Each structure stands twice: as structure tokens, then as C-alpha cells.
Structure 1
């Protein structure tokens, strides 16, 4: 009997109150029992803090009121019950997403990086129009028999590309370009499935924060839009009425750029959110150190640099999109010299703004149509944007190196990130000039396209190292409040703290 009593004492506080009431009293409670229950409810709502040793100054950690004691467990159960009775709702999503989600997002970004480069190879080998139908499910398998291959080849022979460019193509030659396009489409399906299915799992298992769950939903939708844009782009090269009669059959440069832009946006969202999750986990793991780091990044001396990095990311994106227009118009096949274009640094004005591209009698559209449809003007635009990007990056690097205030305030990781961006832009400039001079060879052109997304990656990594998001600041402050037993920080207080942090340094609210 003596050996049983300790177990009963340990289990008693965890038992429900109904365990000590008979079945008859539970079904028809007496007035006395109602008073006892009401007294217990009032005790739970008003005096629950008595058992919270974290809130009692000078509490003895070895007393009976510690978390390890049965009475402390009972107080926690009472507190949870009281919270439910008073309608206090707690989110089932965690405050920070799991690191596994970050690694999965970075892996998905790497897959998108690969498909962008492979898509460039598909375009450079003129394989993109080899499959003339869009079958999201049944198109996952290539032709399996000679009859299937002959059927696909017959469909391709009816396309403008075969009639005008490849009238002598054999079936074996057709298979080569077919497998290029089929591989690109299959990779696209893999990107979609490898993102959507794990996203559903992570959200269902509450491995992500609530805000991240909505972001994953947005990226999933963007992947679907990207697939639709891909077929919309291919469709533009299969109809004679979408390009001038007798001209080189090609997809619309507008649709090609839209398809490329959607891929860049998918990649940016995956990479940025993956890096953000890893950063938040590092900050929360050591809140005091994290607040110190955020304080350093919130220095007024870095305000201009942070904004410049954000503008630089937009500039790199726009430059890459202008490269999509160059690719869609084959504008890299003219003026294969640098830095001059013919006799000067720019073609004559009459060539840059040719009336041939205007579709209105009054010529009101001559400016923007030449900017987007004239190969000479499009190449000049790309040169100007690329040169501007190159100059801005070198200027920012010089600013961080020779400004004593910025150099002292900028963390070491950010300085390394800035230097990495400089190396990437030097490589990208060399690839771009080489691609132009050597008449767009496939290896150099593919490397140049890969360099554009690599440069964007470097700028995003740099931005992630110097940016101070409000959500990260709130996570760090709430971690500090939980450690000190104070109330969590709300959105309004967090915004006020962010402003004060930029002016005065760390803020630690008292409870």
C-alpha cells in the first residue's frame, strides 16, 4: 500500500474534477455542488497567477510550486481551462517556420534556376516549337511507338517553323529537338509537383508560420500561371497571323519575356523566403544577440545603402527582362561589337525610331513600339541597362569601402555579400560582351542567361543580410519578453520600437 500512495499523489492533480464526483451528481448537480463549481471557476480566472512561479518575484525554484511539482501542473491545466472559458484563441501555426521548410524552398529555387537555364537552351536550339499541343497529363510521356512518333512529326510538319526553316528535317533530327522541349516541360511539371505537394504537407503539419502559409499559396499560384504562360508563348509561334508573312517563325517577344519574368519571380520568392526563414531562426535562437544585430543594421548610416540594394534588385530584374526582348527578337545577331554600334556608340536616330514599326497613321506609337519591337533599339536599351547596372554595383561597392561611417556600421557578412555581387557583375559583363562579339554561340548565350539569375541571386542574398523586416524584430522582441515573463509585443508597439531602434538603439520593455 505504501508503494501505491506516491503514484496516487502524483496522478491525482492530473485527474479530471469529474473523477471525484459520482455519476448521479454529475447528471443532476445539487445547489451545493453548483456553488463549489462556481467558486472553482472564479478561482481559475482570478487567482491562476498565484501558481505561476515565473510571475512571483523571488520564488524558490525548489518549492512545491515549481513546474516539476504536481501543483504546478495543476495550475497550468487550470490556466488553460480558464483561457478556453474566456474565449482566448491561440494560433495553431508557429511563430517561426521550420528550417526544413527553408531548405526545401532553397532546393526549389535551385530547381527553378536549372529550368530557366534549360529553357534558354531549348530556345537557342530552336526546339521550343517541336511539340504543337499542350497536354498537362498525357503529355508527360514521350511517343512510345513508331506510329506515335510519326503522328507527332506530322503535326510538326504542319507548323510554320517546319515549312519555312526545316523543310528537309528528318524524323531522327526531329526527335532531338522534341526531347529538348519534352524535357523542359517535364521539368516544369516536376517543379510544380515538388513544390505544391510539400507545401500542403508543411501547412497541414503546422511547420510554417501563418504568414508563410499564405506566401506558399501565392507561390503555388504563380507556378500555375507560369505553366499557362509557357503554353501561351509557344502558341504564338504556331500561327502565321502572329508574325509577318514570310518572316522567321518565332514566339512573341512579349510572351517570351512574360514567361521569363514569371520564372524570375518564382525564383525570387523561393530564394528570399528560404533565406528569411533561416535568418529568423538564427535571430530567435539567441534573441539578445539577434536584437544587437538588428540594432546594428538599423543604423541611420545604412539607410541609403539598404534602399540602394532594393533599387539594385529591381534594376537587375528589369535588365534581365530587356534581355528577354533581345532573345525574342534575335537582336543579338546584329551590331556584334562593343562598345560601338556601327560608326558610333548608338545607331542613327532614323534607325532607332523607324516608322516601319508604327501601326498608327499619326505615328503616336512610334516611340514605345521601337523600344519593344525594333531589334536595334532593343539591343541599345539592353546595353544601356546593363551598363547602368554595372556602374551602380561598382559605385555601391566603392561607397561601402571608402565611406568610413558605412564601413564601420556594415556587418562583415554584408561586406562579403557586396564583394560577391561585384564578382558576379564582372563575370556577367564579360559573358554578355563575349556572347555579342562571337555571334551568340549556344554555350556562351546559355551561360549569360545563367549569369543574369546568378547576379539577381547575389543581390537578393545581400539584401537579406542588410534588411530589417518588422516581422523579424517582433519575433526577437517577443522571444525576449517570453524569457523575462513580460507580455508579447503587438504590431503597433513593434512599429514604434522599430523607429526608436533606428534612433536610440535596443529597446527592452518592462513588464
Structure 2
């Protein structure tokens, strides 16, 4: 294999893993939207890979679910058949996590054994594997919050779980892209702007998860007005003390902040496009802006149609697309070029 193609199998593998993480995020979204996430009340990383295999096993699982507040306060009287439907989504979500772990660690061991990984790359890949394991543990930490005193998971734990999933997706994608750099020589201001857009995109993902955790998208379903106003009253946005609790526990505040951050992200992407005009960064910046615009439109449609499953999942996929483009731009603008760049090009950038 030619030196230039040394990392090609590793890149393909990492891109496939990133795609699997994307699918898992969407299945996780379906699990949340169908209120299925608390249907499995125990964390069994190994034995839990198989679903119940007999009528007695199903009855035992259903009996465990009947002990938690979600069943007692919301789903009391649910049939075993309906329980199997919500169980399926949570089981599939967890199964995908296990499969991704295997798809990651087995090829990683093979690549390491064959010498495809150098000393700088191998630690990064093992760190990604550990990060995936941490994500599974945080997933159980999230589920556990809804098994005793709540009828759903805690919004801030959901936000941590989802944001880390997006971070893992971006980190895997970044690593794959770094193995075949597509360097664009740009000045420091453009690099800083790319980083700013990526960080703001992650903030918006976190805020969106808070909205999801509070079911805030079901409460105020008009746009551009919210509860009949462009900006709700301060009393409506901050009734809880201390003030920070409103972001995590007040549906109006959570949705309002999510909306305002979307506007800020859109404005920042437009400003970034102006900044990159006439430079090699203009085209990727334009693609990122277009992705953000499409995501914003999907978000509005999801809201005014009262969060149907299909649109909600499309909105979550749009968030993944925004993170992917933002991370790709940062990697593209920040990595040191491997070839000499004419000074005239650097001056134009």
C-alpha cells in the first residue's frame, strides 16, 4: 500500500463508526419521543443484550416497570403488548451502544496489531473508546433519575447525555478527517470564528436537550411569537429561585433561550460568511450557513406542528449535520498544512 493510502482503512472504519453513532442518536431521539426510555429498569451491560425470551421473562420485566412512578402515574393499566412496544425502542438503543463498542474495539485491535496506528494516533483512538464507555455509564445515570421520584429523566442529565453523544460523534469525525487533511490556509480570525461557531453549536445542542427534557416544545407552539409576544415578560421567564433553575425547570425559559440562541447562531454564521469572503474558507462557510438555515426551518416546522416524531427526528439529524460541518471546518482551518503554501495565497486569506 502506498504511503499516502496508509490510513485509508482506518478512515473508512472511523467514518462508519461515526455513521453508527449518528443512527444511535436518532434511535435515542425516537426512544425519548415515544416515552420508552424508562421501560428497562436495570443496567445489565452483558446479559441485557438479549430481550426477554419467554412469556415469564416478559412478565417479569413488565412487573419491574410497574414499580416505577412513570407507570403508576402516567401509564397505569398499560397492556403487556403496549409495554413491549416501548421496551423495543430502549432495548434497540442499548443494543446499538453495545454493537458500536464491538465495531470500534475489534478493528482497533486489528489495526494496532497490523501496525496501522502510529504512536500519536493509537492513544487518541483508545481515548475515543473510553469516551464511548463513559457515554454508556452516563446513559444509565440519566435513566436512573427517572426510576424513583420522577416520571421522566432529569432534563439536565438528558442534556449531558445528548451533548456527550454529539461530542463523541464530532470527535470520531474529526479524527477520521485528520488522517487525510484538507487544509485551507486562513488567517487567525477565520480560525477563531470557526471555533466560535462550533462551540455555539454545541451550546445549542445542550439547550435543545433541555427543551426536550421538559417537553417545552409542546407548550408554546407558535412562531415567531411565543405566548403571544416576541419576548415574554420577565416574570414569566424567571419565576423560580435561584434564577438559574428557570433554564432547567421552566419550559418557557428553556424554549425562549433555545430560540434566541438559534437566532444568534444564524447571525454568527452570516457574519462568518462575510468574514470569509474572498478566501478559501468562503465555500465551506457557505455550506455551514445553508445547513444552519435548513435546520432552523425544520425546527420551526417541528414546533408549529407540535413535535411529530418524523419532524423531530429530522430536526435532530439536522443538528448532527450542523455539528459535522462546523467540526469539519474547524479541522480544515486549524490543521497545519503538509505542503508549502505560496505567500500570495496566505495574504489573500
TM > 0.5 fold call? yes
Question: Deviation per CA, 1:415-437, whole angstroms, max 9, x where unpaired?
Answer: 33222212211210111111111
Rounded Cα–Cα distance in structure 2 between residues aligned with 1:315 and 1:96: 35
Deviation for aligned residue 1:504 = 8.7
| Matching of residues 246-257 of structure 1 within 5 Å | 249-257=151-159
Which of the residues 165, 171, 182 maps onto 1:263?
165
Question: Deviation per CA, 1:445-487, whole angstroms, max 9, x where unpaired?
Answer: 1111111111111112222332233xx54xx58xxxxxxxxxx
Rounded Cα–Cα distance in structure 1 between residues aligned with 2:247 and 2:343: 45
Which of the residues 391, 395, 398 maps onto 2:267?
391
Rounded Cα–Cα distance in structure 2 between residues aligned with 1:343 and 1:327: 22
Which of the residues 326, 329, 343 maps onto 1:459?
326
Q: Is the 8 A contact 2:27 2:93 kept in 1?
A: yes
Q: Is the 8 A contact 1:128 1:181 kept in 2?
A: yes
Rounded Cα–Cα distance in structure 1 between residues aligned with 2:102 and 2:157: 24
Do structure 1's residue 149 and structure 2's residue 34 form an aligned pair?
Answer: no
Question: Deviation per CA, 1:202-251, whole angstroms, max 9, x where unpaired?
Answer: 222221221111101110110010000111111111111xx4xxxxx110
Question: Deviation per CA, 1:386-423, whole angstroms, max 9, x where unpaired?
Answer: 1101111122223333xxxxx1xx23xx4332222122
Q: Is the 8 A contact 1:131 1:178 kept in 2?
A: yes
Closer/same/farther in 2, CA of residues 505 and 416 from structure 1, 3 Å limit: closer
Rounded Cα–Cα distance in structure 2 between residues aligned with 1:450 and 1:205: 35
Q: How many residues align?
A: 344
Rounded Cα–Cα distance in structure 1 between residues aligned with 2:100 and 2:6: 21
Closer/same/farther in 2, CA of residues 444 and 504 from structure 1, 3 Å limit: closer
Q: Is the 8 A contact 1:96 1:277 kept in 2?
A: no
SS of equivalent residue, structure 2 residue 78: coil
SS of equivalent residue, structure 2 residue 36: coil
| Matching of residues 73-222 of structure 1 within 5 Å | 98-222=7-131
CA RMSD of aligned residues (A): 2.1
Which of the residues 288, 309, 323 maps onto 2:194?
309
Q: Is the 8 A contact 1:97 1:208 kept in 2?
A: no
SS of equivalent residue, structure 1 residue 150: helix
Which of the residues 275, 285, 310 maps onto 1:443?
310
Q: Is the 8 A contact 1:96 1:208 kept in 2?
A: no
Deviation for aligned residue 1:97 = 5.9
Q: Is the 8 A contact 1:326 1:379 kept in 2?
A: yes
Do structure 1's residue 274 and structure 2's residue 150 form an aligned pair?
Answer: no
Q: Is the 8 A contact 1:313 1:459 kept in 2?
A: yes
For structure 1, the residue ranges without an aligned partner over 5 or more in a row are 1-93, 244-248, 283-293, 359-365, 402-406, 478-500, 507-511
Q: Is the 8 A contact 1:331 1:376 kept in 2?
A: yes
Which segment drifts farther, 309-318 or 194-203? 194-203
- The aligned counterpart of 2:227 is 342
- Which protein is bigger by CA-based radius of gyration? 1
SS of equivalent residue, structure 1 residue 278: coil
- The aligned counterpart of 1:226 is 135
Q: Is the 8 A contact 1:97 1:277 kept in 2?
A: no
Greater RCO (Cα-Cα under 8 Å, separation 6 or more)? 2
- The aligned counterpart of 2:213 is 328
Question: Deviation per CA, 1:324-380, whole angstroms, max 9, x where unpaired?
Answer: 1000111111221112212321221112111xx33xxxxxxx221112221111111
SS of equivalent residue, structure 2 residue 39: coil
Instruction: With the length of structure 1 as denominator, give the TM-score of the two structures.
Output: 0.64
Closer/same/farther in 2, CA of residues 505 and 174 from structure 1, 3 Å limit: closer
SS of equivalent residue, structure 1 residue 210: coil
Rounded Cα–Cα distance in structure 2 between residues aligned with 1:147 and 1:215: 45
SS of equivalent residue, structure 1 residue 130: coil
Deviation for aligned residue 1:170 = 0.6
Q: Is the 8 A contact 2:185 2:345 kept in 1?
A: no
Deviation for aligned residue 1:443 = 1.0
Rounded Cα–Cα distance in structure 2 between residues aligned with 1:174 and 1:344: 41
